[in-house]
Amino acid sequence: MKLALTCSFLLALPGLSTAMADSAKSFSLADDPKPALVLLSNKNDGGWSQALDEARAKVGKELGLRIPVVENVPENAAAIRPTVETFIDRGFNVIIGSAFGYSDTFKELAAEYPDVAFLNAAGTTNSDNLQSFYGRTYQSQYLCGMVAGGLSESGKLGFVGANPYGLVNWTVNAYLMGARQINPDATVTVVFTGAWNDPVKERAAAEALVEQGIDVIGQHVDTPTPQIVAQEKGIYGTGHHRDFSEFSAATQCSSVWVWERFLAPEIEEIAAGGWEVEPNGAFLSIADGGADIACCGDAVPEGLEARVMAEREALIDGKQIFAGPITDSKGTVRVEEGEVLSDADLWSMDWFVPGVVSQQ
C-alpha cells in the first residue's frame, strides 16, 4: 500500500466525510459477470499486490471465471482511466482496483459507467455501483502478538511499522494486547520507517531493534525484510500481507489477506442482482474475509497454538479487542467500561496502550 492510504482514509469515515456516504441503491448487471483486476504494482511483489493477485486466481477457479489482470498501474487518472476503459470496452463489467489512489477516478468511472460494478481494495469512495473494502488487521495482528508473546524469552518484542497512522497504530496496539494474553509483562518497541515499501529502511529498523534486545519482531510494512533479519539474527518473527515463512524460517505466524473469501461471494451477489453497497465501505473482519492468520510455525508449542486458535474462534464469534476499559500510555481513558472503540476512532487512532515504546 502507498503512503497516501491512511491519512486520507480518515476523511472517509462516518461523521468525518460525506464522500463515502452516498445513499446506496441496489445494482444489477445486464450480463453475466466478467471481472478484471487492476494492480498498483507487480503481481509478484511478495506482499500487497501479490495477495490480491493470488485471490484473483482463487476466485477465478471457484467461480469458473477467467479474470485478467493489468499490473503496475500508478495512482493517477491518466494511468487508471485508459486501463479500466479498455477492460470495459472488451466487455468486462466488474472492475477490481487495488489502491487508495484509485478512489477518485473509480468514483468518476462508476458514475460514467453505471452498468459496471467497481470494487476497490483500500479505497475510500462508494456509490451505487462502487464498493471499497479493507480488513480489520488488528484482529490478525492480535493473534500474531499472542504467538510473539509466547515465543519471547525476554518479553521484549519489536515491531517495524510504515507510518504512525491509524491502521498501523491499531496493529501495534493489538499486537501487544495479544502478547499480554500470554505474557502480561511483554512490551513492544516500534520503529516507523516512513515508507510502506523500503527494504533498506526496514533492515535498518529491524537491526536497530535487535540491538536493543528484542527477540521477536513483528511488522506492518510491505516486504519480508524484517523476517529475513530475524532469521539472520537467530530470533523469531511474524509477518504481514502474506505468509512470510516463504521467505524466512524465523516467521512463526503471519497476518495474511484472504480477499477471495470476500470477493467470491461479493461477485456472486453482484451476479444475482440486487447488490447493495455498504455506504461507508466494507470493513472486513476475519469472518468477513478481510485478514486472517497463517499459523503456526514449528517453534510454536501445541498448547500455544491451541490458545491462539481458540482466540481466533472467539473473534469470529464476536469478541471485541478494543473493548473498554482501555487507557493509553499517557493515562488518558480511550474506551470506557462497557464500550467498544468505534470504527471512526480506530481509523483515527493516534495513541498507544501502555507497554508500547514508539521510536520515530
What are the chain's domains?
Answer: 4-135+258-284 (3.40.50.2300), 137-257+291-359 (3.40.50.2300)
Q: Are strands 187-192 and 156-161 parallel, antiparallel or unpaired?
A: parallel
Quick one: pLDDT at residue 25?
A: 82
Quick one: pLDDT at residue 308?
A: 98
CA distance linking residue 138 with residue 167, whole number of Å:
8
- The C-alpha cell that represents 133 in the structure block: 473494502
Q: Which of 182, 198, 191 is nearest to 144 (CA)?
A: 182
Alpha carbons within 13 A on the beta-carbon side of 74: 3
DSSP conformation class of 245: G
Whole-prediction pTM value?
0.91
Full DSSP string of 2-69: -THHHHHHGGGSTTT-STT-PPP--B--SSS--EEEE-SS-TTSSSHHHHHHHHHHHHHHHHT----E
Quick one: pLDDT at residue 24?
A: 56
Query: Tell me, what amino acid is at 149?
Result: G
Quick one: pLDDT at residue 359?
A: 81
Quick one: pLDDT at residue 239?
A: 98
Residues 6+ apart with CB under 8 A from 200: none
> Where are the extended beta strands (E) located within 63-140?
69-70, 94-97, 117-121, 130-135
What is each CA distance from 351 to 241, 328, 354, in whole angstroms? 23, 6, 10
CB atoms within 10 A of CB 278: 13
Quick one: pLDDT at residue 196?
A: 86
CA distance linking residue 162 with residue 168, whole number of Å:
7
Residue 9 near residue 16 (C-beta atoms within 8 A): no
Quick one: pLDDT at residue 266?
A: 97
CA distance linking residue 340 with residue 117, whole number of Å:
33
CA distance linking residue 13 with residue 112, whole number of Å:
24
CA distance linking residue 210 with residue 16, whole number of Å:
40
**Mean pLDDT for each consecutive 10-residue tract of the chain (360 residues)?**
43 40 74 97 93 98 98 96 98 96 97 98 95 98 98 98 94 98 98 93 98 98 95 98 97 98 97 94 96 98 98 98 98 98 95 93
DSSP conformation class of 325: P
First-to-last C-alpha distance (Å) of the chain: 20
CA distance linking residue 151 with residue 215, whole number of Å:
9
CA distance linking residue 235 with residue 227, whole number of Å:
9
> Where are the extended beta strands (E) located within the chain?
35-38, 69-70, 94-97, 117-121, 130-135, 156-161, 187-192, 216-220, 236-241, 251-257, 282-284, 291-295, 326-327, 333-335, 356-359
